């Protein structure tokens, strides 16, 4: 047994910043959200629902929770206009207060420590099925100092039903616990590379990518190709064991 240590280099963690915002609308490729200031998290639901029998509390289950929050930015991609209730007509005319389209969003926050600062690690946040409602906005005159105007939207979500989980629209990928090659594959999908446009896997696909990582897959060619598996267990009395994890999804 060891005594707890409160002073140990590299263990003082903090989270800060937001960057690498990507907007995904429909089946279109993702586009960078340049000018993203912050994504504020909140939730609704989760209230306790106690049950009593003869005046004795027998359970205290909570109601399902749903993601909601706000997005704040200096500006936004053109593709977000349709999510903000703006429709382009002709020759630069935009019609406001139209139906708002749902969208998905990914962004990154930093995880820092007392040795490496904000370069220690990061988290990728993925939000699905969002709807935006513009917050109150005030246009004011110029003064001696010019302060850039900021835009803000209240956002709400619709959770996705997944086997073994409560419906959710919020996922988080931590670079400290995700295998390096898997993290690289995920980022190539989210941000695009020389072989593919930026795209967002569905929640089911996201779970499958993490669940199936490093699973053994055999391709024997045609359906008539025989498959041979040879095991050398060493000593004649040593048992041969094969473990297959087929995952849940």
Residue range 30-62, pLDDT digits in tens: 999 999 999 988 877 777 788 889 888 888 877
Q: Any bridge partners for residue 108, and if so which?
A: 19, 124
Residue 113 lies in a domain: yes
Cα Rg, the chain, nearest whole Å: 25
Give the domain extent around 124. Answer: 14-202
- Dist. CA 113–CA 10, nearest whole Å: 6
Query: Splitting the chain (249 residues) into consecutive groups of 10 residues, what average pLDDT does each group show?
Result: 82 88 94 94 78 85 82 93 90 90 96 89 96 82 81 92 90 94 95 94 93 71 59 64 59
CA distances from 67 to 127, 131, 169, 203 (A): 9, 11, 7, 15
Per-residue pLDDT tens over the stretch 200-225: 999 999 999 999 887 766 565 665 66
Give the Å distances, CA to CA, from 217 to 71, 220, 222, 246.
Answer: 42, 10, 15, 11
> Does residue 214 belong to any structural domain of this protein?
no
Please tell me the distance from the alpha carbon of residue 191 to that of residue 103, in angstroms, as a whole number. 16
Bridge pairing between strands 31-32 and 103-113: unpaired
pTM: 0.78
Quote the pLDDT of residue 205.
Answer: 93
Residue 246 lies in a domain: no
The domain total for the chain is 1
Residue 9 maps to a domain: no
């Amino acid at each position: 047994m060891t005594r707890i240590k409160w002073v140990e280099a590299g263990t003082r963690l903090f989270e800060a910043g937001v960057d690498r915002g990507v907007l995904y609308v429909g089946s279109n490729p993702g586009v960078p959200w340049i000018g993203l200031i912050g994504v504020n998290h909140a939730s609704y639901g989760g209230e306790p629902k106690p049950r009593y029998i003869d005046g004795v509390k027998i359970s205290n289950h909570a109601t399902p929770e749903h993601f909601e929050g706000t997005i704040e930015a200096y500006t936004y991609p053109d593709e977000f206009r349709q999510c903000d209730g703006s429709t382009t007509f002709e020759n630069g005319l935009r019609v406001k207060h139209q139906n708002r389209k749902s969208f998905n969003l990914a962004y990154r926050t930093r995880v820092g420590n007392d040795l490496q600062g904000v370069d220690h690690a990061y988290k990728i946040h993925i939000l699905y099925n969002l709807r935006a409602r513009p917050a109150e906005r005030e246009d004011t005159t110029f003064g001696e100092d010019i302060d850039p105007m900021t835009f803000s939207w209240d956002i709400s979500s619709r959770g996705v039903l997944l086997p073994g989980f409560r419906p959710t629209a919020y996922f988080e990928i931590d670079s400290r616990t995700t295998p390096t090659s898997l993290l690289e594959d995920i980022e190539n999908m989210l941000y695009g590379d020389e072989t593919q446009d930026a795209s967002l896997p569905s929640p089911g696909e996201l779970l499958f990518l993490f669940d199936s990582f490093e699973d053994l897959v055999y391709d024997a060619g045609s359906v008539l190709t025989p498959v041979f598996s040879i095991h050398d267990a060493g000593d004649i009395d040593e048992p041969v064991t094969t473990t297959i994890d087929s995952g849940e999804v």
